[in-house]
Amino acid sequence: MPTNESEKARWNDDRWTDAWPDRERLTNSVSPYLLAALGLEAGERVLDIGCGGGGQSITAAQAVGATGAVVGVDVSEALAALARRRATEVGAANVTFVVSDAQVQTIDGAPFDVAMSQFGVMFFDEPVKAFSNLRAPRLLAAGGAQPVAYGRDHGAVRRPPPPLAPGKSAVGPFSLGDEAHTTALLESVGFTDVGAAAHDLVIDVPASAIFSDNSYAVLGVEPASVPAASVAMQHHLEQFAVGEDLYKVPLAFYIFHAVNP
Ligand SMILES: C[S@@+](CC[C@H](N)C(=O)[O-])C[C@H]1O[C@@H](n2cnc3c(N)ncnc32)[C@H](O)[C@@H]1O
């Protein structure tokens, strides 16, 4: 059965990936919490799952130093290329980026001491298989919800998702947003000492950190419904507006940690 087909298409679609540096204004606010919780040590070998543009991989590479190494894995060719450019710009020689499906493929550089992810592990359509594939001695992942990202009003103009094929799970930013469900998932594949810390932030971002006009097509809004979707999005964002193109938005997420015994 093919894996993660629609996610691979989305994360290799220029209409989506071109907007990613803007979106990082939102997601990067989580990075200090994730890196602090990781407590990386010099010499460790780290896997960054769904590394996107590589920002956290590069920060992790600085933390583990020249005797350590970081491998960022992602299904997106464009984001891996962006990550490589960024690593070159800052002279990070101990980080490499590979294009691969972390759900099913063995990542060159394994075994790792630590696996980490910032919003990169909620897109697996067979999460049990994926987390079985990713059992490093320590796993730490930021997952959960970005409540502001897509207003509920949007539901009316989005194409309904196709029914799930047998054995497949729903994917998306909220797929690991239930603490009990995600804890049970990690324990079911053999992780121990599973725990989660809930965080609630309020961050200041421009609208481009949340959505762009191209998002509608990629998210399944029919062309004829884009004007209505745009009105719904503006309406949803108004409650967070604090200035000219400035929004104070809530960002709720969990940081999960688990040990591979
Ligand atoms: C929300 S983005 C997060 C990117 C980055 N960690 C950040 O916080 O900016 C999710 C990332 O997961 C990647 N991804 C989705 N499914 C994946 C899979 N099966 N294997 C590897 N990467 C995947 C996407 O290409 C995307 O870059």
Task: Please report the atom of ligand 1 found closest to the CA of residue 27.
Answer: 8
Give 171 Cα–ligand 1 centroid separation in angstroms.
12
- For residue 141, the number of C-alpha atoms closer than 13 Å in the C-beta half-sphere is 30
| HEC-encoded secondary structure of 121-168 | CCCCCCHHHHHHHCCCCEEEEEEEECCCCCCHHHHHHECCCCCCCCCC
pLDDT score, position 148? 35
Question: pLDDT at residue 146 above 70?
Answer: no
pLDDT score, position 164? 82
Confidence of residue 137 (pLDDT cuts 50, 70, 90): low
Does 80 or 178 have the greater pLDDT score?
A: 80
pLDDT score, position 6? 87
Cα–Cα distance between 54 and 89 in angstroms, integer? 12
Task: Please report the atom of ligand 1 found closest to the CA of residue 20.
Answer: 9
Average pLDDT over residues 159-170: 75
Most ligand 1 atoms within 8 A of CB, residue of 30, 48, 51, 100 to mutate: 51
Confidence of residue 151 (pLDDT cuts 50, 70, 90): very low
What tens digit of pLDDT does each residue of 93-136 get?
Answer: 999 999 999 988 888 888 888 999 999 998 999 999 898 888 75
Cβ atoms of 134 and 111 within 8 Å: the answer is no
Confidence of residue 153 (pLDDT cuts 50, 70, 90): very low
Question: pLDDT at residue 152 above 50?
Answer: no
Tokens of 114: 């630590």
| Average pLDDT value for the chain | 86
pLDDT score, position 132? 87
* Shortest-distance Cα residue to atom 27 of ligand 1: 52
Question: pLDDT at residue 76 above 70?
Answer: yes
Confidence of residue 161 (pLDDT cuts 50, 70, 90): low
pTM reported for the whole predicted model: 0.90
pLDDT score, position 139? 58
Average pLDDT over residues 26-45: 92
Nearest CA among 189, 154, 180 for reference residue 256: 180
Confidence of residue 31 (pLDDT cuts 50, 70, 90): very high
* Shortest-distance Cα residue to atom 4 of ligand 1: 52
Provide long-range contacts, Cβ within 8 A and 24+ apart, for 125-129.
125/3, 125/4, 125/7, 125/168, 125/169, 125/171, 126/3, 126/167, 126/168, 126/169, 127/169, 127/175, 127/176, 127/185, 128/185, 128/188, 128/189, 129/103, 129/104
pLDDT score, position 159? 59
